[in-house]
Structure 1
Amino acid sequence: MRIATHNSQPAAIFRTTYKYSWLILIPAVIYLWKFLPPFIPAMEIFAMNQTIRLTAGLFFLLASSITLYASANHRILPGAASLIAVLLMCDALTHSCAQNSENTSSPAEMSFTLYCQNVLYSGPRSDEIVEIVKELSPDIMIFQEMNTPRAEAVSADIEALGYNSILDLEHPTEGAFSLAVFSRLPLRNNRIIISEGPDWKPKWPAQIFEFKFNDRWISVANLHIVPSHHPPSGRLSHIRPSQKKLVKGQMEDIIQALSNGQTPSIICGDFNQTPASKYLRLLDDYWIDSWCETGEGFGFTYPNPNPLFRIDYIYHTEDLRTIVCEKIKNSFSDHQGLFAVMTSLNN
């Protein structure tokens, strides 16, 4: 005699979820990708920041039910995968909340503002640069790839607004991109660091300078790092192993230039590296990412106007704090800019 069994709806849901539980491994692999060398450049689009991790964590709330069902049926692999997903969710929640809770606002008079922007394609629409400067009115402006046909004219317009400037528009190294700094605060000790570059772009400079805020000098590196995954031909097969080594060397040169430990420091500019890049780990021990500190959303800055990658950054030492970090949309560049409100601690 066959006894009919009744399949409850919750049990059916558990079975269906268990059947497709292997899908959990896909986001888990993407999450772990940030800890692995980015062998596949296209995968770097999935580089994790706090927002993506939080989103993935909330999505994996369903994993708790899978864990219970898998454990009851002695299914070890799906249960373990689900447990990992739940742990990732907890990590995302606690990490994101910890960063936000540590940030506190400071009085406006105790803060300075910084605008960082790659401006290479600004030739036909360079007047918009001046308009954004008028709107943001930043204390410090840091530009990369300033070698446009109208760079000198734009510089004159910005200087007319009351800014001092440090322009490296005519760099002695042929093929190197130019850098520029504009400031309403006192400047000193400008110098250029020349690191070895790939043969298709002889050398790429980093600009080091200091500005004075609240009777304290702050060191800044305005940089434009060689990309590790972008050959001149645009073909992935043309990437040279030596090109990746150059990135590490350039990063080390810049960090060494700011490692005197006597002044607060900022490293900002076009890194040409996504958050998954192993070369950004060189900054993990002593540097804080301003976007992760206060930014909202994915933080993608390239390409403009529909960004899919985050390659522009503002990093700072622990004696500085970011109060606000925002993206600045524009039509004059293939990058979106970064605008930060920062303050100096332990004045």
Structure 2
Amino acid sequence: MAVPLLLFANVAFIVYWLLSGIKKQFLLSFFCILLAIGLSIFPYKFNSKTVVSGGSFAVMTYNVRLFNKYKWIASEEVPAKISSFIKKENPDIIAFQEFKHDKEVDLNYPYVYEKLNGGKRANGLAILSKYRIVNQGSLDFENSNNNAIFIDIIRNNDTIRIYNVHLESFGIRPDSVDLNIDERKSKRLIYRLKKSFTKQQVQVEKFMEHRNNCPYKIIISGDFNNTAFSWAYLKLKNDLNDTYVEAGKGFGKTYSFNKYPLRIDFILADKKFLVNEHKNYQIELSDHEPVLARLSY
């Protein structure tokens, strides 16, 4: 989480040292920024890419936070607004995290796979597709409310696997953060973080074992509950293209932590796909923001 702050601190130092006429320190920070850009870890993209292609298809990922079931947002219209938004953007495939059935959400996709748990209050993951699903399944993460699911679809006589991944959450809400914590609270926080990191590691390793046995081109979408500078992200990305890196713009923010922009929702695509477009939406209908990528061969 500190990487963006450290990089922008180096940008500030560059400006300061240039104005102060101190060249050696300027070169040090300048090299850090060049290295970050070269490794594609600079947390801001100045140029986007949009390619018009009649043969493209759109994939969206969206953590909808149970369609505002517990009224985190003071509005009764959130489910209907999310439904209208998705109909307007019209993605060919959409992966939902923290999904539940809601009478106000009627999307009419012909093919649906969902994995919900919790009885009458069932919620979980879902993938909606305009393309025929020929195979589907769940990885069933152990001792966790989070999970990963997949579908295999047929598009233009080609089989593509779509993963929907929701890794373990750290369980730290922005409104509960108190910087004036004592030793007891800090130890409890460190224990919670350690436990979540350990669970994420187990989940990622289980996912990678499953993914490595897939014979098809793959797309990984979902809420990773971690940033692009984390071990979990780097492991999942592996040899795939991050659609934000390829075609996005700005910070790529998908989640605000006390107004600090975080990119924790991703779409990762096989290198055999061209990334024609990446879109981040600024709509306050959940604690996450949706992400859409338009791909072609």
TM-score by length of 2: 0.77
Task: Tell me the distance in 1 between the aligned counterparts of 2:131 and 2:9.
Answer: 40
Residue 138 of structure 1: aligned partner: 91
CA contact (8 A) 1:57 1:92 kept: no
Once the two structures are superposed, the pairs formed by residues 105-120 of structure 1 within 5 Å of their partners are 107-120=52-65
Higher relative contact order (CA 8 A, sep 6+): 2
Cα pair 1:228 1:247 within 8 Å, conserved: no
Counterpart in 1 of 2:103?
153
Alignment of 1:298 with 2:251, yes or no, is yes
Question: 1:188 is matched with which residue: 134, 137, 141?
Answer: 134
Describe the superposition over 1:275-320 as per-residue Cα deviations: whole angstroms up to 9, x where unpaired: 2323222135312221122111111211399562221111122222
C-alpha change, 1:216 and 1:83, in structure 2 (3 Å) is same
Q: Structure 2: state its 5+ residue gaps.
A: 70-75, 178-184
Change (3 A) 1:188 1:152: farther
Paired residues for 1:127-276 under 5 Å? 127-147=80-100, 151-154=101-104, 157-159=106-108, 162-169=109-116, 171=117, 177-197=123-143, 202-228=144-170, 230=172, 237-238=188-189, 239-240=191-192, 241-260=194-213, 262-276=215-229
- Structure 1 segment 17-36 matched on structure 2, within 5 A: none
Displacement of 1:104 in angstroms is: 7.3
Distance 1:305 1:324 in 2: 29
Alignment TM-score, normalising by the size of structure 1: 0.67
Q: Secondary structure at the match of 1:251?
A: helix
Quickly say closer, same or farther: Cα 1:230–1:174, change in 2 above 3 A.
Answer: farther
As a proportion of its length, which structure holds more helix?
1
Q: Cα RMSD over matched residues?
A: 3.7
CA–CA distance in 1 between the matches of 2:50 and 2:155?
A: 18
Give 1 or 2: higher strand fraction: 2
CA contact (8 A) 2:152 2:161 kept: yes
1:107 Cα deviation after fit: 4.7
Identity %: 22
Task: Give CA deviations for 1:221-265 in whole Å, capped at 9, x if unaligned.
Answer: 10111024749x976524343332110111121222122352111
Say if 1:57 and 1:93, in contact at 8 Å, map to a contact too.
no
Query: In structure 2, how many angstroms separate the alpha carbons of the residues matched to 1:173 and 1:287?
Result: 36
* Secondary structure of the structure 2 residue equivalent to 1:168: strand
| 1-structure distance, mates of 2:57, 2:207 | 23
Any stretches of 5+ residues in structure 1 without a counterpart?
Answer: 1-43, 71-78
Q: Mean Cα displacement is larger for which, 172-181 or 245-254?
A: 172-181
Structure 2: distance between partners of 1:54 and 1:307: 13
Which has the larger Rg? Answer: 1
* Residue in structure 1 matching 2:277, options 318, 324, 329: 324
CA contact (8 A) 1:193 1:207 kept: yes
